[in-house]
Structure 1
Amino acid sequence: MTLRPWHADAWARLQARRERDALPHALLLAGPAGLGKRDFLAAFVKGLLCQRPVDGVACGTCRSCELVAAGTHPDLIGLSFGLRKDGVTRSEIVVDQIRDLSQRLSMASQFGGWQVVTIDPADAMNAAAANALLKTLEEPTPATLLALVADEPARLPATIRSRCQRIDFLPPSREVALDWLRAQGVTDAPAALDAAGGNPGMARTWATDGALKQRGEVRHDLKALAAGRGDAMEVVKRWQAADPARYLWFAAQAAADELRARASGQTLPLDSQLDDEGLDGWYAKANRARDALRGPLRTDLVLLELLAAWR
């Protein structure tokens, strides 16, 4: 197992608690996507269930490790998006799933050790599911660990967050991130890291899937619209056809860069006609638009409203 450099402290603290037999009954792994929360949790769970771990690291060869690798370990329960009756994957975790989980946890561990539950993404639980989980958190069964994973922990009720031992995953220093990216073979590491807002995992993905080109497209589009040359509907069609959430990320990033350029007296990259207050408001509007994509609103209308405000 190879931990990412920024995982070392959290791993050491968690293993120290395990060695003292002082693990909490619930963990909340929180932080932006791309920082390796899920890899961290998978490695910890493997070590916790392993029959011959070494310093918390799974041996990989015992019966328990084989079952975990096959996805059939009876004491490892994974909870995520279920299926509706029509076979379509749900967009939220529902109360029936939590009730089934509670019944499952009422039974003893089949291996006589830990029972581990992972809920991912925990911030996708609806209100009824979160309320049902609260009872399980308040009345934990012995030798049971519930591990919640959330890219946006603020979406979880405070009552849930307060009953979990929280492990926050934050972007590392730029130096650490660049060293890791170069070790991963990322050639244009600085540009990728800038595009990803300092998130090295996201930067590694974006360096190879065309994101840097998309970032340039967004800035070109915004500059053209500011000058009255661009066609907002054509821009909407292109952004919507690709990855609208990513385009909105880059749009907000571009507005922030424009504000910084104004503050430092540099050449304005976008030539926005908005004043500072309007530009700051547009930055916030772009971030809200990205959140709105999760809801029932039409994506093209969300994008068009944002671009109309830019012009």
Structure 2
Amino acid sequence: MSAMPWHAEHWARLQARRARDAMPHALLLCGPKGLGKRDFMRRFAEGLLCQQTQDGEPCGRCRSCLLFAAGTHPDFATLSFGLRKDGVQRSEIVVDQIRDLSARLAMSSQFGGWQVVCIDPADAMNAAAANALLKTLEEPSQQTLLLLVADAPWRLPQTIRSRCQRIEFHLPPREDALAWLQQQGVKDAAVALDAAGGNPGLACAWAQEGALARRQEVRKDLGALAAGRGEAMEVARRWLDNEPEQRLWFAAQAAAEEIKARAITASGPLASQLDAEGLDQWYMAANRTRESLRGPLRGDLLLLELLARWH
């Protein structure tokens, strides 16, 4: 399993703890989406369960590794969004799932070694589920490891965070990120990295899925609205139909660049009619709207209100 270069320090620290037989009972892997937290988690879990591991790396050939690759290892489980009784996928992790997890961990390991459970996304646990998990965290079984993966760890209760060893993934230095993107064959690596806010994992994914063209569309839409040539309703419908959260990310990014340009010249590249304070408020509103799209409010009305303010 290939590793991203910015994982090396975390990997070495965990392997040193493993060598000293000082592994924590719970790890919180957190940081922005796109930095490979889940790849790191699977690599570490597979290596922990591997019967012929070398320096923590899974061999990929032993019975344990073959079962892990097939998704049938009896001592590894992943807890995520379950299904409601009507078959619809839940939007949160609920207390019954945590109770089932606790019952599973109360049993002995089938391979006589570690039991590893990943909760992903851990920040999707509701309050009752988080409270139920506390008991397991406070009274851990021997050779049991809980791996909590969270893009937004601040949504987890402090009581959960304080009982986990935190492994925080940060954006790597720009030169390291560019070198990695070039190794992945990403064209216009610098443009992709800027679009993703310095996040190489997102930059790679976005470059492959055509997000850079979407970014240019967002800038053209905002420029047209500022010049009075576009219709906010039409733009809102188009954005809502195709990656609205990503488009709002690019819109906020464009507003930030407009603010920076205003500090140097009288007008920015999008020629917005908003003053400096208005641009700053619009930037914050774009980010709030991106979050609100995940809730129950109508997305078309949220986007229309935001774009009307820009217009």
- SS of 2:290 mapped into structure 1: helix
Match of 1:159 in 2: 159
Aligned equivalents of 1:18 and 1:266: distance in 2? 58
Match of 2:110 in 1: 110
**Counterparts in 2 of 1:274 and 1:267: CA distance versus 1, 3 Å:** closer
Matches within 5 A, 1:159-238: 159-238=159-238
Match of 2:270 in 1: 270
Aligned equivalents of 2:214 and 2:185: distance in 1? 21
Aligned equivalents of 1:36 and 1:98: distance in 2? 25
- SS of 1:193 mapped into structure 2: helix
Aligned equivalents of 1:180 and 1:165: distance in 2? 28
Aligned equivalents of 2:189 and 2:44: distance in 1? 29
- Structure 2: which amino acid aligns with 1:237? R
- SS of 2:77 mapped into structure 1: strand
Matches within 5 A, 1:1-311: 1-265=1-265, 268-311=268-311
- Structure 2: which amino acid aligns with 1:272? S
Aligned equivalents of 1:129 and 1:301: distance in 2? 33
Aligned-residue offset at 1:155: 1.0
- SS of 1:149 mapped into structure 2: strand
Aligned equivalents of 1:87 and 1:296: distance in 2? 20
Unpaired stretches in structure 2, ≥5 consecutive residues: none
Aligned-residue offset at 1:24: 0.6
- Structure 2: which amino acid aligns with 1:227? A
Aligned equivalents of 1:263 and 1:291: distance in 2? 28
Aligned equivalents of 2:266 and 2:93: distance in 1? 48
Runs (4 or more) in structure 1 with deviation over 4 Å come to none
Aligned equivalents of 1:304 and 1:253: distance in 2? 18
Aligned equivalents of 1:110 and 1:244: distance in 2? 45
Aligned-residue offset at 1:144: 0.4
Aligned-residue offset at 1:265: 2.8
- Structure 1: which amino acid aligns with 2:36? G
Aligned-residue offset at 1:171: 1.1
- Structure 2: which amino acid aligns with 1:220? K
Aligned-residue offset at 1:266: 7.6
- Structure 2: which amino acid aligns with 1:8? A
Percent identity among equivalent residues?
A: 72
- Could you give the per-residue CA deviations for residues 216-256 of structure 1, whole angstroms, max 9, x where no partner exists? 11111111111222100110111011000000000100000
- SS of 1:264 mapped into structure 2: coil
* TM-score normalised to structure 2 length: 0.98
- SS of 1:207 mapped into structure 2: helix
Aligned-residue offset at 1:39: 0.5
